[in-house]
Amino acid sequence: MNLTERRERFRTILNGNRCVHPGSVFDPLSARAAEDVGFEVAMFAGSIASGTVLGAPDLIVLTLSEFAQQIHRICRASSISLMVDADHGYGNALNVKRTVEELETAGVSCLTIEDTLLPLSFGAGGEGQLISVEEGIGKMKAALSGRQDPSLVVAGRTSALRNGGVAEAIKRVSAYKTAGVDAVFLAGAQTKAEVEAVHAAVDIPLLLGGAGGELADLDFLSATGVKVALQGHLPFQAAVKAAYDTLKALRDGVKPDDLKDKLASPELMGQLTRRDDYNRWVKEFLG
């Protein structure tokens, strides 16, 4: 895996003047599909990792090792630049440093570390809380200290827009920029006014999640410093529904031949499994 080259491609986007949508992926085949159809960046979210690896909701029950292992499988299978949501770094600032070391080794091009208090504390009632700005700065500095390849993008992530408002978000984005992060992920952004206010106050590349509604305007996002804007995680949801519907149909007595139009063709399976490469290697190495 040429990891530095794909990280440099991500930095080209970060330093460019247009916003791109990443392809949401969850395993090697989905990463290859994203690459084959032309996405410049793939995104592997913590919530999707929890669903893929554990079949669990996004409650931070996934471990760092489990997350890193799935990332390694994805990066090994494709050469697309992979951006990941590393949640809170799986603990305090020392754990954040370890997280960066592990995920860099696994192959990521960009990772985000957030300032949300995770896992949920006793009595929180399911409501997210922010750690202090000072602790957030410590986590960002620890993340940067764990980076060995300078081309790896380390991004801060803040939920302050929804847990404090625009002024709090600006304060935290500014603090994390001063700490040295390469970009900041604005979690929970919903309006153009919010993005404009942060962009006007702090000159740093922005990343967005769930860019729908009025934030679906790529021209606006490009003009306000947003470099990558997620569109949700539809591929994983579609895959889950397809698997469930197929299993239910078979259990209900539908004949396999009647489901052929809903299945990946042999040609597509061959493409995504790189069958031609394996056939060539069989001839070359096995005689």
- Per-residue pLDDT at 128 exceeds 80: no
Task: Quickly list DSSP for the chain.
Answer: --HHHHHHHHHHHHTSS--BPPEE--SHHHHHHHHHTT-SEEEE-HHHHIIIIIS--SSS-S-HHHHHHHHHHHHHH--SEEEEE-TT-SSSHHHHHHHHHHHHHHT-SEEEEE-B--SPPTT-TT---BPPHHHHHHHHHHHHHH--STTSEEEEEE-TTTTT-HHHHHHHHHHHHHHT-SEEEETT---HHHHHHHHHH--S-EEESS--GGGG-HHHHHHTTEEEE----HHHHHHHHHHHHHHHHHHTT--GGGGGGGS--HHHHHHHTTHHHHHHHHHHHH-
pLDDT digits (tens, 9 = 90+) for 134-176: 999 999 999 999 999 999 999 999 999 999 999 999 999 999 9
- Sheet with 206-208: list strands edge to edge: 23-24, 41-44, 81-85, 110-114, 153-158, 183-186, 206-208, 226-229
Phi and psi torsions of 187, nearest 5° = -75, 140
Strand partners, 84: 44, 111
User: Does residue 237 register a pLDDT over 80?
Assistant: yes
User: What is the reported pLDDT for 212?
Assistant: 80
Rounded (5°) CA angle 81-83-89: 145
What are the tokens at 10? 């991500």
- pLDDT above 90: percentage of residues in the chain: 94
Cβ–Cβ under 8 Å, residues 101 and 155: no
Q: Delineate the domains of the chain, giving CATH numbers in brackets.
A: 3-233 (3.20.20.60), 239-286 (no CATH)
What does the alpha-carbon distance between residue 119 and residue 8 come to, in Å, rounded to a whole number?
Answer: 33
Reported as a single tens digit per residue, the pLDDT across 165-214 is 999 999 999 999 999 999 999 999 999 999 999 999 999 999 999 778 89
Confidence of residue 126 (pLDDT cuts 50, 70, 90): low
Q: How far is CA 121 from CA 60, 91, 117, 162, 195, in A?
A: 12, 13, 8, 18, 30
The pTM for the full model equals: 0.95
Identity of the amino acid at 98: R
Question: Measured in Å, how far apart are the chain's first and last C-alpha atoms?
Answer: 26
